[in-house]
């Protein structure tokens, strides 16, 4: 039994899509989330910058005595997880492995597309993971550098839909039957993705599987919180608190959502 919180990090509000699933699956667990909104987008930065920024967020979470860390950011998972995990004691769960597993349970024809930040695509993070899990998988990779910043700015739905349609053009006439949302910001505009895709293409939000992996990891390590514990949730941002609060309330469907400034 361990009542310490689970820590989660992202470059911005996208990580709250993962927090949401963690809260649904583990109502007794406390959480601490840090969004590095001052430095979004991570997807356009160098590997060194991404590792340095992610390390800073990890240090903050460690200072809060977390028992497990979830990289609720594909870009940080793709670039920084391997470097940081050996340096710290708490286990890190990333989103790429979980998203790949989830996609393989959905696809019928093993033709999978992934849309993600420029860095996640440049690292071929999903292509490599899917190839490891099932070498017969054919992966179409699409970089969408403009989507995460657009979501952070909360632009009009029509603008987001037009951007999603443009992003998905490489899939026209393809046989892909499954699309992985390879950036944690994208589930916020899942509706626009749904509208832009043919009905036969299934959408995978890795967050469900991430939360499931967290459940299993805590169970295996005997780190579950007591069911009697009243879970507490804290949110921190390096950016503009008012903007984060506005979006956070929508993403978590919680009118009381309120972030602290770091
Ligand atoms: N949410 C982050 C991810 O999953 C990306 C956004 C960014 O570029 O910072 O990759």
Q: Which atom of ligand 1 is nearest to the CA of 39?
A: 9
Q: Look at residue 229 and tell me whether its pLDDT is greater than 90.
A: no
- pLDDT tens for 106-137 read 999 999 999 999 999 999 999 999 999 999 99
DSSP string, 14-42: GGHHHHHHHHHH-TT--EEEEE-GGG--S
Give catalytic status of residue 73 as yes or no. yes
- pLDDT tens for 172-201 read 999 999 999 999 999 999 999 999 999 999
Whole-number Å distance between alpha carbons of 77 and 70:
9
Domain with CATH 3.40.50.1860 in the chain: 6-94+207-261, 97-206
- pLDDT tens for 46-60 read 999 999 999 999 999
Q: What is the mean pLDDT of residues 223-239?
A: 94
Give catalytic status of residue 91 as yes or no. no
Q: Look at residue 79 and tell me whether its pLDDT is greater than 90.
A: yes
Query: Which among 39, 27, 250, 240 has a CA at the least distance from the CA of 259?
Result: 240
The third-level CATH classification (topology) of the domain covering 97-206 is: Rossmann fold (3.40.50)
Name all residues whose Cβ lies below 6 A of ligand 1.
10-12, 14, 40-43, 73-75, 117, 120, 148, 183-185
Q: Which two tokens stand for residue 35?
A: 């969004």
- Catalytic site residue from 73, 114, 180, 214: 73
Architecture of domain 6-94+207-261: 3-Layer(aba) Sandwich (3.40)
């Amino acid at each position: 039994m361990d009542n310490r919180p689970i820590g989660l990090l992202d470059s911005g509000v996208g990580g709250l899509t993962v927090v949401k699933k963690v809260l649904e699956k583990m109502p007794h667990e406390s959480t601490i989330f840090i969004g590095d909104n001052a430095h979004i987008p991570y997807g356009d930065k160098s590997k060194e910058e991404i590792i340095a920024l992610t390390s800073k967020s990890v240090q903050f979470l460690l200072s809060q005595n977390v028992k497990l860390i979830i990289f609720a950011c594909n870009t940080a998972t793709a670039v920084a997880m391997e470097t940081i995990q050996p340096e710290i004691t708490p286990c890190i769960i990333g989103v790429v492995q979980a998203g790949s597993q989830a996609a393989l349970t959905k696809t019928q024809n093993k033709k999978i597309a992934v849309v993600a930040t420029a860095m996640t695509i440049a690292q071929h993070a999903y292509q490599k993971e899917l190839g490891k899990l099932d070498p017969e998988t054919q992966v179409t990779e699409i970089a969408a550098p403009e989507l995460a910043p657009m979501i952070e700015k909360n632009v009009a739905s029509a603008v987001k839909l037009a951007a999603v349609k443009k992003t998905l053009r490489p899939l026209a006439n393809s046989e892909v039957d499954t699309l992985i949302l390879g950036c944690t910001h994208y589930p916020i505009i899942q509706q626009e993705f749904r509208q832009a895709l043919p009905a036969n293409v299934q959408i995978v939000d890795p967050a469900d599987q991430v939360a499931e992996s967290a459940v299993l990891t805590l169970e295996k390590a005997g780190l579950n919180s007591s069911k009697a514990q009243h879970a507490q949730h804290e949110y921190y941002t390096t950016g503009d608190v008012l903007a984060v609060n506005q979006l956070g309330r929508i993403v978590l469907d919680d009118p009381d959502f309120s972030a602290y400034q770091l």
